[in-house]
Every structure is written in structure tokens, then in C-alpha cells.
Structure 1
Amino acid sequence: MSKTASASEVQKNFGVYHDRALTEPIRVTKYGRETVYIVSAETFHALKQAQREAIASAELTDAERKLIDSAEIPAEHRYSLDKS
């Protein structure tokens, strides 16, 4: 979950939001609209690494697509709305 703060609030209290961003993203708004997030360097680098590792589905071979299509989620990891 992220904390939301206005750009003017962040500007007035940058140190507070800087320190908080080390443990959780800070969602910054301007005129009530989301504009940027402040995140820790660790989070930023993890996101950039994940972006570099992601590939487009168009880059998959036919064999890889078939493997994905035939894959099944193990029962213990399946999502269910049933609360019983």
C-alpha cells in the first residue's frame, strides 16, 4: 500500500517523505491527480531489472506458446472465490 501526498506537501516536508519512501512508495498528486511516485532506490532498481527481463509474447516461439497453453496451476496455488 502506498501513502498519498500532494506535491506541495512533499515539497514542504521532503525529508519526511524521503524517509518514508525507503519503506513504502509515496503517491504524489498535483491538483488532485496522480503525477509521480517516490520509491526507494532498491525498489527502482528491482523494477528496472524486471523490465529488462520481461519479453513480449510476440518474441515467444510456437513451442513456448504451446507450453504456456498446456501449463496448469497446481491445486495449492489456484485462486478461488469460495470462502469455505
Structure 2
Amino acid sequence: MASVPASQFQKNFGEWHDRVHQGPVEITRYGRPTAYLVSADLFQQLWERFRIAVPVEDLLPGDIDLIMQSAVATDQPYTLDDIPESDDETAVLPRARG
């Protein structure tokens, strides 16, 4: 990945603007990254994959209904039992207790 100090980026914007088609450009200030310049195509790809995680408690009843009605198209049936057990209590998908 190309890296450029902010002062050089400002002086030679056209050059760095053209270089984003080769890959992201890291813009630094005092040797630390402060921003990244990416092509419009890469930004669109990243934005399409962007998700915001919210706690279950913040979901509205309509959101929960949509989740309950959702389905995943697959040739193989599956259940949550397919997820391996974890000894780590901070696992991303903890088993339901009950």
C-alpha cells in the first residue's frame, strides 16, 4: 500500500488521486496513518459489505419478526447444533442456556 505524508498529498493531489486505481493510499500525519484514499469502485464494494451490529435489546418487534421469517437458501439442512461447542464464554455465538 502506498503511503504519503498529508503535506505531500495536498501538494500532489492529482498524482495520488491517480494512484488509487493501483490500491488504497495511506495518508499520514506525523508518521501516523490518519486517512485512506480509495477508488470509488473499492469504496462501493466496502460500503455494500458494511454492517452495523446492534444489541438484541435494541431490536424493534418488527425487526425480530423479519429475522424469524428469514431463510437461508442451501442444499444442506442445518441447525444451530451444527455450530461446534466452545469453552470460551466470550465466543461470538454462545449456546443458549436453558
> Which TM-score applies when normalising by structure 1?
0.63
Higher relative contact order (CA 8 A, sep 6+): 1
User: How many positions carry a matched residue from both structures?
Assistant: 66
**1:37 is matched with which residue?**
36
1:6-62 deviation digits (Å, cap 9, x = unpaired): 00010011000000012210000011111000000000000000114x767x7x99x
SS of the aligned residue for 1:4 comes to strand
The aligned runs of 1:18-37 (5 Å cut-off) are: 18-37=17-36
TM-score (norm 2): 0.55
Larger Rg: 2
Name whichever structure is richer in helix by fraction: 1
Taking every aligned residue pair, what percent have the same amino acid on both sides? 36
1:66 to 66, 76, 81: 81
Q: CA RMSD in A?
A: 3.1
